[in-house]
Every structure is written in structure tokens, then in C-alpha cells.
Chains A and B, each alone.
Chain A
Amino acid sequence: MDLYRAHVLVCCGTGCTSSKSGKIIENLEKELKAQGLTREVKVVKTGCFGLCAEGPIMVVYPEGVMYYRVSPDDVTEIVSEHFLKGRPVARLMTVQTAVPLDQARNVEESDFFKKQVRVALRNCGIINPESIEEYIAHDGYMALGKILTDKMAPLDVINEVKKSGLRGRGGGGFPTGLKWEFAARQQNDQKYVCCNADEGDPGAFMDRSILEGDPHSVIEAMAIAGYAIEANQGYIYVRAEYPIAVQRLKLAIEQAKAYGLLGEHVFGSAFSFDIEIRLGAGAFVCGEETALMRSIEGKRGNPTPRPPFPAVKGLFDKPTILNNVETYANIPVIFQKGSEWFASLGTDKSKGTKVFALGGKVNNVGLVEIPMGTTVREVVFDIGGGIPNNKAFKAVQTGGPSGGCIPAKLLDTPIDYDNLIAVGSMMGSGGMIVMDEDTCMVDIAKFFLEFTVDESCGKCAPCRIGTRRMLEILEKITGGTGTMEDIEALERLAVGIKEGSLCALGQTAPNPVLSTLKHFREEYIEHVTDKRCRCGVCKGLTQYFILTDLCKMCGLCAKRCPVGCISGVLGKEPFVIDTAKCIKCGACMQACKFKAVVKR
């Protein structure tokens, strides 16, 4: 075996692949060969490091030097300077978002990583996801091997999961061990283990990163679940929009089968377990467990009433358990390090860690994994590096279309399942979108309702018709014709929809409106009574003006105006916008070099 003096880890997650990390690897290999370094420096394709905004990302070990926004053209310099002469390329070691990351020379010491505890993401960005050997070298399949070779009783496996306190990471936070126990108690000739990888929450991408960066952890966990409930067949329901994840999952399943870690007689035991992949086709409601199972059966993804619960009558009417990707990724670690260790992380009722997809108006956009109980402030300001361009923080949205907004006064809320619900939001799958002073909260509520109106399956009238009505009211308010009665109507409708819908999609659809009404009611009232959108987002309420004293009479704005509503005399008279004709496209504002065009 070759001993390498350095390892170069190049992120090949979706974000970095989009910014050409494939080409970077190609150039690296070419350049290393040209310099005769192929036996000294090893290039490793890895999954996501988390700091997606600064990608493509490259990390060099043993030093732990992290390079940001590497371009394929930088490779020659990196190889000749760093690998040949031992001088890291300082120019690529500072992030461009003005975050003090650059002060830390080592990856683990940077603010972005310091407060994180990586359990579910333990292998992401460290191992090559396309190599089962690398997963095994990181204690992969050890948990499954131990369970099978020690002939641990299925009930003991379930008890271990119960003791860990692990709760579902996909939405509601149901205790995972309990779910397994329900299915294990059922007597049936056929049971199923399903994995929900239909990550539909817009703005959350942790499940995809796990599948892309560490697919074997999910496969191992599903096999453990299969052993625990005595099922021999698993299904992974994954979005067709995630091609890289699908391809790596397929490869991982093949490799596991070739090693006897999946298929007939796993680890030479009497236990057999197989996994098949099913592709989702872009329906948000299929994240709901009964809808997902209908979809695997080849039907429209309409939710069905519970009970019967899937643990009793699920996929093809057989007892079934369904967990999401992140939940599964935690399972092997619980058996490697023990349930006590896992339960020592987090808060009283929420154990372990949670991965959040931090995005929106925040400096360090990416994936972060924090112990439960970390405050929202720590995530946004310490790990996330605060708000760009010196803007003021307004809110953070969690839980996607089912969740709500957390305002500045609640920044010190420790994150766990119960606290987030108490402040009117929810954990959800873990999207965390930061909003600054320029984000209009009424517009955001409207954005999420547009989403639910699109995605409501149409089965229950309160959800199908009610969300449409709520959206129409919000359109009225943002268009400048809303009344105070409309705000009350919103609240009334919200209650009806929550109570009258069958599945979680409808039951939670009004949440974005309710939480913005709770914390930002004054913005709604401003839209209604003052006909004003303080952020200038709602076009129906925005007007553009030219400040006469700043206007240099250059006429550039008039030239750019697509409807010819700006008039003035070049060099002599300041220009004026005819607000009656203006279509509010903002072209004049972009064109003006003197900041004379303002909107209010």
C-alpha cells in the first residue's frame, strides 16, 4: 500500500460540482502527474464540507488547510507552491464574505466549525462516498456487524435506540425507537423498512448532502432497522432531482452487496436484507409518510387516514417503518459509541444533534450540525458569521412551508423540538433561512402560501380551497387593497385549515402566516392602513422617485426605462418619474450611478 504524505480532499457535493469541482480534480490529477507527485499526494473526492457559499472547497491534510472558491486555473499554483514547495497559497485561504474564518489556519479551529458537533455528518467531506473501503475504515458497518455476530436480540436493538432518545429528524420528531417497536410487535410474513429521501422543503439540503457524502451510513442503518423489526426489504424514496445522490446510492448498494453486507445472509448470518431505490417525481406532499408509500406503490401521492398507522398497515398494506435520511445516519453511531453517549448530547427531551441548512441573508451559507440546545443566535452569528452588508437581522425561518419565523427578540431560544414549537415554528427537516431588514414578512408569508397552494394534493377541501383563499387575501394586502377585516379572516381561515386537514401539509400550511402575524403584525397593518411596504418588496405598494438634488441630469434612467415614463432635459432639468405610468421594474434604480433613484 502506498503511503501518501498529503491528502487533498475536494468537495463533490452538488453545490461545488456546480462550480466545477470535477474539472478541478481532473486538473489536479494531471498536474500531480506532471510534477511526479502521484505517489505522494492523494486526491480524494468527498461529500459536502458544509461551507457551500465558499465553494468549490478543497482541504489539504495533514495541515488542515482549507482553500475556498478554487477555480480549475488555480490548480497549477496550488500544486507547485503547496505540494512541491510546501507553501500554502494564502490568496485562496481567505473567504470572500469578510468573515473572520481566515484567522484560523486549521479547518477545525474556524468559527464555522468550532461550535459544530458532527454526528450525522461525521463522514461528509472526509471520506470518498464512492468507496465502501473508506466507509469501513471509518468504523462503517461495525454496528451492523456487531449486532449480527453477537446475535443481539432484535428487542435489545430497539431498546438501545429507545435509550438513545433519538427522535425523527424529518418533521414531527416522533421517537424513533418507539416507532420501531410498534412495527416489531406486528406479526406478519412481510414487513418493510423505508427511507424518506424526498427532501421537499425548499431551502433544506442536508439529506441530499448525507446521501452524496456518506450513502453507506443510511444503508447500514436501514439494515439494522430491518433486523430489529424483522423485515427483509427496504426502499429508499429519493427525489429524481438529485441525480448525484441517486447515482452514489446505487453504487453504494452494489458495493455493499458485493461485500456481503447486504443481500442474502448478511455477515454470513441468517438475516437477509435488500434495498431498492424508488424515484420521487416532485410532489412535496410525498414527504408525508402515507403519501410516500402510495407513491412507492405507483399511485398518486394522496395521504390516507391514520390509523391504521404504517407500523400496522403501511406499504402494500404490510407493517412498515419510515425514517428520514438524517435519522438513519445517526443510527450506526448510537451502536458504535453507545446510547448513553448519544443521550449525553443535546437537551432533556431532544437528544443528539441536528443538521441545519443555513441560507438566505447570512455570511456563511451552508450545512451546520449543532448539538440540540444551541441557541439561534449562536447559529446565525457565531457559526453563520452574521448578516452581510451590515444589514440588521430581522428573523430566521425554520421548518420550511410548515414552520414559522423567529424574530430578533427570541434569538436566544435554545434550539430543540419543543422550544421551536413554543415560539410558533417547528424543527421540520432543518431549513434555516435568515432574513434581514430588506425582507418583507408579508411577502414571505405569501411566498410560502404560493408553495402550499401549488403542492396541496387536493384531497381535503380545507387545505385545497382554504390555502387558496388565504393566498388571495395576502395578494390583496400586498397589492394595496387589503382591509383590517382581511387580517382577521386570515386568522379565522388558518384555524379551520389546521383543524380540517388530514395530513401534516394542511395542518401546518397556515403556520407561516400565523407566525408572521404573531411577531410582525405591524407590517401587515402598515400594508393595510398606510399602503406601505417598508422593505420596498411589494411592487403594488412601491413607488420610485428621483431625488432632485442628487440627479445629475445625465438621462441614463430615461434611456433604460422600458415604458418611457421618465422625462427631463439633459444637463438642464432634473429627471422625473411619472408614477402613474411606471411599471416598477427598477431598471432606473439600477442604471443610476448617483443613487438619485429611490423607492418607498
Chain B
Amino acid sequence: MGSTKTKTHDEQVRLLDQVIEKHRGQGRKALMQVLQEAQAIYGYLPLDVQRTVAGGLGVSVAEVYGVITFYSFFSLNPKGEFEISVCLGTACYVKGSQAILDKIEEELHIKAGECTPDGKFSINACRCIGACGLAPVIMVNEDVYGRLTPDQIPAILAKYKEA
């Protein structure tokens, strides 16, 4: 297990270097793109990744940190293996998405923005994933569940608990 993990880490470092190489010389102009690609590699943006990006593009770490914390898409914390995005856009809210979020928080014993201790689930309260026709909607990683009621939640979570 340990060796696979180190290997993955090496792989991540190599991929990040490739991304930075691709944008070298563009400076701050490329910062957003590099961060987006870096997050796709790591799942989040820890300090050492921020340092690497800052060094590679020739901007300060403070500036990188400033950009990361400005945009909600960027995360400083690792996410769960299954990230549950609960849409709290207007259309979903009017159709009761708050009750859906409450139920998920109750079932997993964590709040929105947190991750379960086993690293399995995290909850992300998001604004509109654009599937308003299916309101209220949640997404578990890429899977979309629409037209939900709170009592459907335990069954949905159970699917991933076993996975």
C-alpha cells in the first residue's frame, strides 16, 4: 500500500511539472489554468503544490494563495472519495433542497464543507449545477440524482458506503 502511494505521489509531481512546463513564461496570465489543472491532479491544492506553482510561474506564494481563496472552485482541503454536491440554487431551494442537505448531514454526521473521518464522503453545498429541471438535485461525484425527497437519501448513500 505504502509503495503504491509513493508512486502515485511521484506521478502527481511529474504531471504537475508537465503542466507548469506547458505554461512556462506566461507568468500570472496562466495562473488560473495551472491551478485548475493542478487541482485535477491532486484533488485539492496543498501548500507544497502552491509553492511549486508559484515558483514555476514566477509569482509569489501569497498571490497564489490569494487567488485560490478567492474562487470557490479551488480547495485547500482534501475532499472525500465521494464528494456529494447539494445544489442550493434558487430552483432547488424553492423545491426543498435545504431538507435534503439536512438529511445528508444527519446521515453522515458531518456538516457541509466537511469530510467524514474515514475520508469516504465530503459534502459541498453548491450553487446551481444547472439541472434546474430536475430540482432538487444532488451530485455524488459525477452521478446526478434529481427530483429527490429526504427519505431517498439513505438508500443513495448506502450504494456508495458499500463501494
Contact = CB atoms under 8 A, between A and B. Distances in A.
Contacts of B144: 18-19
A447 B132 contact: no
Contact of B32 (A55, A205, A281): A281
B34 to A, nearest CB: 9
B133 interface: yes
A283 B132 CA distance: 19
Contact of A301 (B30, B35, B70, B126): B70
B73 A282 contact: yes
Interface residues of A, number: 54
B79 to A, nearest CB: 14
Contact of B94 (A54, A295, A435): A435
A366 B135 CA distance: 11
A298 B91 contact: no
Contact of B31 (A205, A280, A283, A298): A298
B62 to A, nearest CB: 11
Contact of B132 (A19, A52, A439): A52
A53 interface: yes
Contacts of A200: 127
B25 interface: no
B71 A18 contact: no
A457 B146 CA distance: 31
B94 A281 contact: no
A172 interface: no
A14 interface: yes
A298 B32 contact: yes
B94 A283 contact: no
Contact of B134 (A15, A202, A280, A283): A15
A297 B71 CA distance: 14
A203 B89 contact: yes
Interface residues of B, number: 40
Given A283-B71, A299-B28, A447-B93, A240 B36 contact: yes
A279 B134 contact: no
Contacts of A542: none
B85 to A, nearest CB: 9
Contact of A241 (B35, B95, B130): B130
B28 A281 contact: no
A278 B94 contact: no
B128 interface: yes
A298 B146 contact: no
B36 A279 contact: yes
B67 interface: yes
Contact of A361 (B28, B89, B94, B129): B94
A55 B70 contact: no
A134 to B, nearest CB: 24
Interface in B84-133: 88-91, 93-95, 99, 102, 126-133
Contacts of B70: 283, 300-301, 457
Contact of B33 (A52, A201, A278, A282): A278
Among A201, A208, A282, the most chain B Cβ lie within 10 Å of the Cβ of A282
Contacts of A433: 90-91, 94
A209 to B, nearest CB: 8
Contacts of A18: 131, 134, 137, 144, 146
Contacts, number: 131
A298 B89 contact: no
Nearest to B128: A202
A452 B35 CA distance: 25
Nearest to B151: A590
Among A18, A201, A366, A435, the most chain B Cβ lie within 10 Å of the Cβ of A18
B130 A205 contact: yes
Nearest to A241: B129
B67 A298 contact: yes
A199 to B, nearest CB: 8
A136 B133 CA distance: 30
B135 A359 contact: yes
B89 A202 contact: yes
Contacts of A15: 130-134
B134 A52 contact: yes
Contact of B90 (A19, A241, A284, A359): A359
A18 B143 CA distance: 7
Among B28, B66, B144, the most chain A Cβ lie within 10 Å of the Cβ of B144
Nearest to B142: A243
Given A19-B146, A298-B30, A435-B94, A281 B71 contact: yes
A360 interface: yes
A533 interface: no
B71 A439 contact: no
Contacts of A366: 133
B74 interface: yes
A434 B132 CA distance: 12
B4 interface: no
Contacts of A586: 99
A176 interface: no
A511 to B, nearest CB: 14
Given A52-B133, A205-B132, A283 B72 contact: yes
A400 B73 contact: no
B127 A451 contact: yes
A365 interface: yes
A397 interface: yes
A242 interface: yes
B29 interface: yes
A224 interface: no
Interface string A232-248: 00000000111000000
Contacts of B73: 240-241, 280-282
Given A204-B128, A278-B32, A299-B28, 10 more contacts: A208-B130, A241-B129, A280-B71, A281-B72, A297-B29, A300-B66, A357-B132, A439-B94, A447-B93, A448-B90
19 contacts: A15-B134, A18-B144, A53-B133, A202-B90, A241-B129, A241-B130, A242-B130, A278-B33, A279-B36, A283-B70, A297-B29, A298-B29, A359-B90, A359-B133, A360-B95, A365-B135, A433-B90, A433-B91, A448-B90
Interface of B: 27-33, 35-36, 66-67, 70-74, 88-91, 93-95, 99, 102, 126-135, 137, 144, 146, 150-151
Interface of A: 14-15, 18-19, 51-55, 199-205, 208, 240-242, 278-284, 295, 297-301, 357, 359-361, 365-366, 397, 400, 431, 433-435, 439, 444, 447-448, 451, 457, 585-586, 590
